[in-house]
């Protein structure tokens, strides 16, 4: 959900905004100009530390390995609920650092790895040690088989271990750029006066090599023998292993440790490359750049808004939605929905719409605020002067299997929960088949037979070969 309020306030979006400098300056220094109020699906990948050319990070990979090697040593000495086990558990509990802005994790303050998950990891490590697996690299592979451990926690865990190296990197860059720093020598966030830690772009990936079970197919794609053994154990197609729970997969691995040994070997030899910010295949950055272009190249005149009420709010939202449709269909922006010929994730379109709406409102003196999970689903506009008037806007691809469900169930549920006055369902057509779109309009007509109103439907043609949009 994204909430928009009509009120005056400063809303910086990226680190460069917090530091009041040009984004290109940070980029030239290899610093990721991350978003601080919108999710970025980019993570610190520990495997990228090994051959990093940043001076301050020259020993970071060794620190990562040694950190977990010490845990393995402690567990090897443990004979039960003793001081060694407690020491290992303590090291596995890692708190999130709110000075590091990667968007994704900053939305979930608290522990990167709390006691419960740490205890589960501990038991897994003990079982692996008993099978003779003592390579600390297993902690890079936790996302494959440990419930609750994903790329975000691996990233936070890595940041915790190499934090001092990141501090030194930040101090050097700050000095080179003559940035204003605080008492500890770190640049300060102009919004809350707290220090900011820079993250080098060359240690970031959109999907770490070992993020989930499907990664095994990626890592071991040339290892036919390993795939056949796993297929035999699971009793299913290799690709369908992605549907098996991590709990089941962990049991398979613990019962057949040779699988993990083989995987560790192949994973260690796999070439690791950082995220390509120039191509930006996942669209993690380009949506923000496009949003700024929208206002300059294709401005909207909302007119004089004397009072925000249901009608004026609906007019604002409709103009933004129609402009978004215009950009996609007639101004060539449909190209950005694709990386080469591959359709980007629906999340990209949601962020792009959000950014466009944000930019147009800001340009027309409609200042914004929103919930921290902006770009992760439906978009809740909330513009007010006194009493809150709200309109929900949800973005979906026509290829989304939950397209009809989103219209008939999810959006009404959002409206009820948020007490929204109106809702708009923006569907980006990504398929040549129009059956789903027709079913959607039929569903709306059925709803109107029993209800006084239904969500507005806006169909935006996002295919390579475009036809005019259908708006009802």
Q: Give the residue-averaged pLDDT of 232-236.
A: 59
pLDDT value of residue 386: 46
Give the integer Cα–Cα distance in Å for 398 and 403: 6
* 274 found inside a domain: no
Do 230 and 143 lie in one domain? The reply is yes
| Res. 167: pLDDT tops 90 | yes
How much of the chain exceeds pLDDT 90, in percent?
A: 35
**Confidence (pLDDT) at 187:** 93
At 10 the pLDDT is: 41
Final residue of a domain: which of 269, 294, 309?
Answer: 269
Q: pLDDT grade, residue 8 (50/70/90)?
A: very low
List, for residues 253-278, the tens digit of each pLDDT value.
Answer: 787 787 778 778 877 777 788 999 99
| Domain-located, residue 27 | no
Asked whether the predicted pLDDT for residue 373 surpasses 50, the reply is no
322 and 460 together in one domain: yes
Q: Is the pLDDT of residue 448 over 70?
A: yes
Q: For residues 258 and 317, state if they share a domain.
A: no
Residue 10: partners with Cβ closer than 8 Å, 6 or more residues away: 191
Domain annotation covers residue 426: yes
Q: Cα(134)–Cα(4) distance, rounded to whole angstroms? A: 51
- Residue at 204 is within a domain: yes
| Whether residue 68 is found in the same domain as residue 144 | yes
* Co-location of 62 and 143 in the same domain: yes
432 has a pLDDT exceeding 80: yes
Q: Is residue 230 domain-shared with residue 146, that is, in the same domain? A: yes
Number of compact structural domains in the chain: 2
Domain end residue (candidates: 238, 269, 300):
269
Angle at 155 between CA 129 and CA 209, to 5 degrees: 70
Report the side by side order of strands in the sheet with 456-461.
Answer: 379-385, 387-397, 422-429, 456-461, 470-471
Alpha carbon distances (Å) from 325 to 84, 320, 472: 61, 9, 13
pTM above 0.85, yes or no: no
- Judged by average pLDDT, the poorest of 14-28, 104-118, 142-156, 423-437 is 104-118
pLDDT at 6: 33
Last residue of a domain, one of 212, 235, 269: 269
Answer yes or no: do 256 and 119 share one domain. Answer: yes
Whether 82 maps to a domain, the answer reads yes
For residues 407 and 312, state if they share a domain.
yes
Question: Same structural domain for residues 254 and 292?
Answer: no
Q: Is it the case that residue 209 has pLDDT exceeding 80?
A: no
Quote the CA–CA distance of 350 and 136 in Å, as a whole number: 39
Q: Is the pLDDT of residue 215 over 70?
A: no
Q: pLDDT (tens digit, 9 = 90+) per residue, 287-305?
A: 988 988 888 899 887 777 6
CA 29, 30, 36 angle in degrees (round to 5)? Answer: 105
Percent of the chain with pLDDT strictly greater than 70: 76
**pLDDT tens by residue, 377-392:** 455 555 544 456 777 8
Task: Say whether both 434 and 337 belong to one domain.
Answer: yes
Both 306 and 237 in one domain: the answer is no
Q: Which residues span the domain enclosing 203?
A: 43-269
Looking at the structure, tell me whether residues 249 and 295 fall in a common domain.
no
């Amino acid at each position: 959900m994204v909430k928009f309020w009509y009120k005056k306030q400063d809303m910086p979006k990226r680190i460069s905004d917090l530091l009041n400098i040009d984004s290109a300056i940070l980029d030239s220094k290899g610093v990721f100009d991350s978003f601080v109020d919108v999710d970025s699906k980019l993570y610190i990948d520990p495997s990228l530390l090994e051959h990093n050319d940043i001076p301050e990070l020259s020993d970071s990979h060794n620190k990562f390995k040694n950190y977990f090697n010490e845990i393995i040593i402690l567990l090897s000495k443990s004979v039960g609920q003793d001081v060694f086990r407690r020491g290992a558990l303590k090291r596995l509990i890692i708190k999130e650092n709110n000075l590091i802005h990667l968007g994704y994790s900053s939305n979930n303050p608290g522990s990167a790895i709390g006691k419960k998950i740490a205890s589960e990891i501990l038991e897994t490590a003990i079982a692996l040690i008993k099978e003779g697996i003592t390579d600390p690299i297993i902690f890079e592979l936790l996302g494959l088989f440990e419930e609750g451990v994903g790329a975000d926690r691996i990233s936070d865990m890595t940041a915790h271990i190499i934090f001092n190296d990141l501090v030194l990197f930040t101090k050097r860059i700050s000095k080179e750029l003559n940035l204003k720093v605080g008492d500890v020598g770190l640049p300060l966030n102009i919004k809350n006066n707290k220090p900011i830690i820079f993250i080098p772009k060359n240690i970031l990936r959109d999907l770490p090599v070992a993020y989930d079970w499907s990664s095994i197919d990626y890592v071991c794609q040339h290892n036919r023998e390993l795939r056949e053994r796993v297929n035999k154990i699971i009793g299913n197609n290799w690709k369908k292993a992605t549907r098996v729970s991590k709990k089941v997969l962990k049991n398979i691995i613990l019962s057949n440790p040779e699988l993990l040994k083989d995987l560790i070997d192949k994973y260690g030899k796999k070439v690791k490359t950082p995220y390509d910010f120039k191509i930006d295949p996942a669209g993690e950055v380009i949506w923000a750049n496009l949003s700024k272009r929208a206002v300059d190249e294709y401005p909207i005149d909302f007119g004089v808004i004397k009072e925000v009420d249901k009608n004026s709010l609906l007019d604002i939202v409709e103009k933004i939605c129609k402009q978004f449709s215009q950009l996609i269909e007639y101004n060539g922006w449909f190209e950005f929905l694709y990386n080469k010929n591959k359709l980007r994730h629906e999340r990209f379109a949601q962020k792009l719409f959000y950014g466009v709406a944000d930019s147009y409102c800001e340009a027309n003196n409609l200042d914004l605020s929103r919930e921290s999970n902006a770009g992760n689903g439906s978009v809740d506009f909330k513009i007010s002067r006194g009493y809150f008037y709200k309109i929900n806007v949800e973005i979906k691809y026509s290829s989304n299997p939950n397209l009809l469900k989103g219209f008939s169930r999810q959006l009404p549920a959002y409206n009820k929960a948020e007490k929204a006055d109106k809702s708009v369902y923006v569907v980006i057509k990504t398929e040549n088949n129009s059956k789903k779109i027709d079913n959607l309009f039929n569903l709306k007509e059925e709803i109107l037979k029993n209800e006084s109103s239904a969500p507005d439907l806006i169909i935006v043609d996002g295919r390579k070969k475009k036809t005019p949009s259908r708006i009802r």
